Every structure is written in C-alpha cells, then in structure tokens.
C-alpha cells in the first residue's frame, strides 16, 4: 500500500495484544491496520493473526522481546511511527523512494501488484469496463494513487475511499461500487471462498512489502537481520505456505536475502 497523506486521524483504536497478559515496557509496539487479510486480521475467536503478525512475533522473540499490536488505520501508521508512538509498522506497506525520505524499512519480504476485483456477474472483464463506473480504493494506498492517476485514462466516474478491504468488498457486493482496486494477495485471499467476486485484471506495479520504522531507527537493522535469518532457515517459506497455501517462488523477495532499502 502507499499513503498520500501522513495525517493521523482521530485517536488510535484500542491496542490489540497478542498472547496472554498485559504488554510490558520491553515489548515491541507494532502498528497494524487490523482487517488487512491475510497480513493482520482477527480470526473467528477474535485473536489477531496473519502473515505479518507471525513475522513480527517471531522477530521480536528472536530479539528477546514480546510484541504488542496496536490497531491503527493505514493512513495513520506513518505519523505514528515517526512520532515514536509505535516502534514499527506493518500492513503490506510498500517501499517507495518517497517514503525512504522520511522513514526506514527492513528488506522486503513480499513482491506484489494491484488488482481489479468485481462482482463475477457484473460483465466487467478488465479495466476498460470501468468507463462511467465507480470504484473503491483503500485510502492513501497504491491503489488510490494508481486510480487517481488513471481516472481519466479509463474514464472512471468516481473513486470512493475506504479504511480497509472488508467494507469495500461489502459495498462491491451490494452494488454501491462497480470495482475495487487493491493489493492482489489480500483480495485473492479474501475471495477464495466467495464466488460472488472475481479478480479480472492484475495491475502491474512492482511493489515490495516490508516493515516500516522511524527514520534511521536502530531497531530497523536488528529486525532486518532477523528477517535474513528467517529467509535462510526456512521460517519465511513456512509462513508463506501457511498463509497463501503455496510454496514461495525462490526468485522473489520472500526467500531472497536483500539489502535494506536506501533512498536513491
């Protein structure tokens, strides 16, 4: 995802703690937009789960720390990490040159693109079908930036912004929007048992996701080192298999050890 603005809207939602008992002062506080499947969301029992939840829990454990997940809307994560209210942030956050001006990232661990999802019976077969239609995007996301840039190209009538995938998909099913542009892994995970929806086009953006930190935070290098070890010892491969049901491509950032990204 990509953010257009850094304003933190309103008070933070209540902290969501992983595990039993209250968080200690030594816990790593990680901001996340809970509801972002399969990265961080609540299961049927109300427990916070997901790929990045497992990733950060394991990284914290290896660093001798506990972890506390704080539920923050995506467009508030940047201000929260920059102000020190959280130590790190996850939510399928895309590394971009612009972001590297003000924050730091660990090495990437997932390669992604955007996608166009529609109701399967809508008759929309690709992006050209958006002529005169309304679409949904996640506020400040890469999908939001892409749609804003390409609105005239595809003659999109209206762009409506949402705080998370679930409300957008519910509006899509109800006919309040005609399409939804968002991260392809999240959408594919969401619709795998919901035949009412279909992903009709992949939108290449060449995104890579990672953990975000305050600019030059010492914690960034420490977490980066643990991500390297997780790629080398098979932990990352196991997480990919668990959450996506397939083996990770060895050529992708999920399994390839990479340098921490730096501003060009």
Q: Which of these ranges, 7-11, 39-43, 106-110, 190-194, has the smallest mean pLDDT?
A: 7-11
133-154 pLDDT tens trace: 999 999 988 899 999 999 999 9
Q: Which of these ranges, 13-22, 44-53, 109-118, 244-253, has the smallest mean pLDDT?
A: 13-22
pLDDT at 111 over 60: yes
138 and 194 both lie in a single domain: yes
The CA–CA distances, whole Å, from 247 to 1, 66, 192, 204, 235 equal 23, 29, 17, 21, 12
Cα separation, 131 vs 125, in Å, equals: 12
**CATH number of domain containing 81:** 3.40.190.10
Residue 1 within any structural domain of the chain = no
Residue 249 within any structural domain of the chain = no
142 and 24 both lie in a single domain: no
Residue 67 within any structural domain of the chain = yes
pLDDT at 6 over 90: no
Residue 10 within any structural domain of the chain = no
Residue 260 within any structural domain of the chain = no
211-248 pLDDT tens trace: 999 999 999 999 999 999 999 999 999 999 999 988 99
66 and 129 both lie in a single domain: no
Q: Rg for the chain (alpha carbons), in Å?
A: 18
Residue 28, Cβ neighbours under 10 Å: how many? 22
How are beta strands 134-138 and 67-71 bridged, if at all?
unpaired
- Mean pLDDT in the chain? 90
- Residues 92/189, Cβ–Cβ less than 8 Å: no
Instruction: Kindly state the percentage of the chain with pLDDT values over 70.
Output: 90
21 and 96 both lie in a single domain: yes
Cα separation, 176 vs 134, in Å, equals: 8
106 and 226 both lie in a single domain: yes
pTM, 2 dp: 0.79
Q: What is the domain extent for residue 69?
A: 15-110+208-244
Cα separation, 84 vs 81, in Å, equals: 5
32 and 76 both lie in a single domain: yes
Confidence at 124, pLDDT banded by 50, 70, 90? very high
Contacts for 168 with CB less than 8 Å, ≥ 6 apart: 136, 137, 138, 162, 177, 180, 182
124 and 195 both lie in a single domain: yes
Residue 59 within any structural domain of the chain = yes
pLDDT at 21 over 50: no
Domain boundary residue among 206, 231, 254?
206
84 and 168 both lie in a single domain: no
70 and 105 both lie in a single domain: yes
100 and 224 both lie in a single domain: yes
| Overall number of domains in the chain | 2
178 and 229 both lie in a single domain: no
Residue 258 within any structural domain of the chain = no
Q: Tell me if the bond preceding 38 is cis, omega within 30° of 0.
A: yes
């Amino acid at each position: 995802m990509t953010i257009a603005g850094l304003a933190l809207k309103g008070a933070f939602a209540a902290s969501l703690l992983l595990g039993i008992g209250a968080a200690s002062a030594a816990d790593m506080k990680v901001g996340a937009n809970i509801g972002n499947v399969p990265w961080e969301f609540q299961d049927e029992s109300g427990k916070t789960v997901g790929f990045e939840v497992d990733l950060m829990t394991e990284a914290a454990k290896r660093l001798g720390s506990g972890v506390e997940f704080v539920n923050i809307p995506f467009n508030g994560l940047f201000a929260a990490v920059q102000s020190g209210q959280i130590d790190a942030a996850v939510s399928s956050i895309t590394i971009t040159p612009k972001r590297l001006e003000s924050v730091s990232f660990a090495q990437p661990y997932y390669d992604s693109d955007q996608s166009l999802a529609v109701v399967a019976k809508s008759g929309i077969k690709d992006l050209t079908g958006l002529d005169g239609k309304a679409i949904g995007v996640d506020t400040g996301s890469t999908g939001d930036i892409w749609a804003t840039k390409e609105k005239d190209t595809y003659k999109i009538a209206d762009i409506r912004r949402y705080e998370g995938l679930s409300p957008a998909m519910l509006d899509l099913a109800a006919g309040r929007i005609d399409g939804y542009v968002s991260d392809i892994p999240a959408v594919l995970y969401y619709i795998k048992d919901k035949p009412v929806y279909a992903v009709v086009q992949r939108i290449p953006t060449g995104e890579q996701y990672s953990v975000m930190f305050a600019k030059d935070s010492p914690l960034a290098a420490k977490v980066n080192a643990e991500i390297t070890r997780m790629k080398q010892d098979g932990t990352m491969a196991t997480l990919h298999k668990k959450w996506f049901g397939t083996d990770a491509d060895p050529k992708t950032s999920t399994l390839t050890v990479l340098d921490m990204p730096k501003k060009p």
